[in-house]
Structure 1
């Protein structure tokens, strides 16, 4: 073996010139997948196998239920999550006890869906951690202002029930306008959460006038919610 300077990340031994391949290695020689795609007849089977090899059963169940907006049986969720029905039912019931999953008892058995309140709070917490939260609020407010100016209406419902004859483009705008209104509501809630967490982190001791003045000054600034 040839002598090479060693480092903490280097191998203990290096190949000799005789051991090296005749041709240099290219990108085509490197397989980034841990699953051999020759074992599968179609891309869906390959993707499922790759997902299964890279995640745990609990992770897959959580991923599926997080996207489940209509009640489904444990069997249906198990099939999508690539787990056994017993495992899916056990995990779903546990998540229901934690308030993450909502259950519905029917004649054919128990059905599961994501809890809408928990999902909404999850979205708001995610938005509250965004570095561009204020910019997002301003962007959506501008979008809504443009709809109001374009249709001379205060909200999409007023436009929908008006005497104006609406074409397909107008109906599409109404749909996007509703989405923007909902997004703004979530962004505002996230901003209030972020502000509340910021205020909660301020510890004001006796005689700490500087901190009190800073909080008062901050409260006096124009809020992006307005």
Structure 2
């Protein structure tokens, strides 16, 4: 039997004054996505709880160790990764065996940080998969050419050892110049890695008309990337 208190056009009965709340209802009172503020003391606690619920302990330790550039104890890394010190040490020792992190024996115990060589190779592999690798190389080369033209030198270090007193803007240029040179070195390494992969595929993949020849850009284009 249909409810007599309702109709297709809405309810036919409404609450009385006694049934209404003393305070007016706001959007926050009926928001189904509202977060209970008493559960977490601050935003950091909420973010930490969410990170912990969405990742495994191993994943968090890997993330933290990947950002660790100065040696830290397992306890320090455990606090950041939201795991026990025992769990952190076991995973870090495993990562050290894999060459992902380095372990340092000190008088106060074992310290860990990311392995710089492994981190660099990871960056290069990522760059090698970029579809804009050649464009990035050309962009950085143009930036370096502008620095050389502006300061009439091929080396930023020459500016630092010169007798001229450098302004803050010029010191900033030296810093950016160094960064660009390092970036170009990484991009070139990535290009060579990508080229080697393409050569390997051209020699191993079956196909009609394949003779094992290289599938690299023309010599003119290749030299411009060096």
| TM-score between both structures, scaled by the size of structure 1 | 0.80
Which residue of the partner structure matches residue 115 of structure 1?
Answer: 115
- Measure, in 2, the Cα distance between the counterparts of 1:87 and 1:216: 48
Which one has the largest radius of gyration? 2
Which residue of the partner structure matches residue 219 of structure 2?
Answer: 220
Which residue of the partner structure matches residue 14 of structure 2?
Answer: none
Kept in 1, the 8 Å contact 2:61–2:88? The answer is yes
- Measure, in 1, the Cα distance between the counterparts of 2:46 and 2:107: 37
- Measure, in 1, the Cα distance between the counterparts of 2:216 and 2:94: 46
Given the alignment of the two structures, is residue 77 of structure 1 paired with residue 77 of structure 2, yes or no? yes
Given the alignment of the two structures, is residue 175 of structure 1 paired with residue 161 of structure 2, yes or no? no
Q: Give the 3 Å change call, closer, same or farther, for CA 113–204 of structure 1 in structure 2.
A: closer
| Equivalent residue pairs, number | 200
Kept in 2, the 8 Å contact 1:101–1:115? The answer is yes
Which residue of the partner structure matches residue 18 of structure 2?
Answer: none
Kept in 2, the 8 Å contact 1:144–1:181? The answer is yes
| TM-score between both structures, scaled by the size of structure 2 | 0.80
- Measure, in 1, the Cα distance between the counterparts of 2:129 and 2:204: 24
Residue deviations 1:44-100 (CA, integer Å, cap 9, x gap):
111111111111101100000000000000000000000000000000000000111
Kept in 2, the 8 Å contact 1:144–1:180? The answer is yes
Residue deviations 1:187-223 (CA, integer Å, cap 9, x gap):
0000000000000111279xx98645x6387453421
Q: Give the 3 Å change call, closer, same or farther, for CA 217–59 of structure 1 in structure 2.
A: closer
Q: Give the 3 Å change call, closer, same or farther, for CA 204–126 of structure 1 in structure 2.
A: closer
Kept in 2, the 8 Å contact 1:75–1:85? The answer is yes
Unaligned runs of 5+ in 1: 1-16
Shift of 1:163: 2.1
Which residue of the partner structure matches residue 58 of structure 2?
Answer: 58
For 1:83, what is the secondary structure of its paired residue?
coil
Given the alignment of the two structures, is residue 43 of structure 1 paired with residue 22 of structure 2, yes or no? no
Unaligned runs of 5+ in 2: 1-5, 12-26
Shift of 1:153: 1.1
Shift of 1:37: 4.5
Kept in 1, the 8 Å contact 2:129–2:194? The answer is yes
- Measure, in 1, the Cα distance between the counterparts of 2:39 and 2:75: 26
Question: 1:1-226 counterparts in 2 under 5 A?
Answer: 29=31, 31=33, 36-203=36-203, 211=211, 215=214, 218=217, 220-223=219-222, 224-226=224-226
